[in-house]
Amino acid sequence: MALTIYAIRTNADFTNSGAYMMVGMLGLLMMIMLSVFFPTNSVWSSLIGGGGAMLFGFMIIMDTQKIFGSASQAYGGGQRQFEYSIDMYALAAWSLYLDYINFVLYLLMPL
């Protein structure tokens, strides 16, 4: 809930940070592949879980800003470079759903 409120109220534009998210995803994938082939400990698992939760937290912010788009200016937010159109509601819902599921899974990973 806090991430959604932040995404709507902030003037920072996260919608154009898709390339940075992709680099983060590739780094996370490499860390997971290393943990599969080499024995790991709880610190490594916590690093993967924390990094994944942080990455998907930023993705929640990015997708929320794409959903609200320019309408967030009414709530104190700034102009957005990219946004979903009205016909892309299913893609927007699916994307945000996957972000929340992965966020929770990575939060639970170190446990």
Residues 63-99: tens digit of each pLDDT: 999 998 877 776 667 777 888 888 999 999 999 999 9
Quick count: other Cβ atoms within 10 Å of Cβ 77? 21
Q: CA-CA distance, 14 to 12, in Å (whole number)? A: 6
Q: CA-CA distance, 72 to 40, in Å (whole number)? A: 43
Structure confidence at residue 85 (pLDDT): 85
Q: Read off the pTM.
A: 0.88
Q: What average pLDDT does this structure show over 34-45?
A: 86
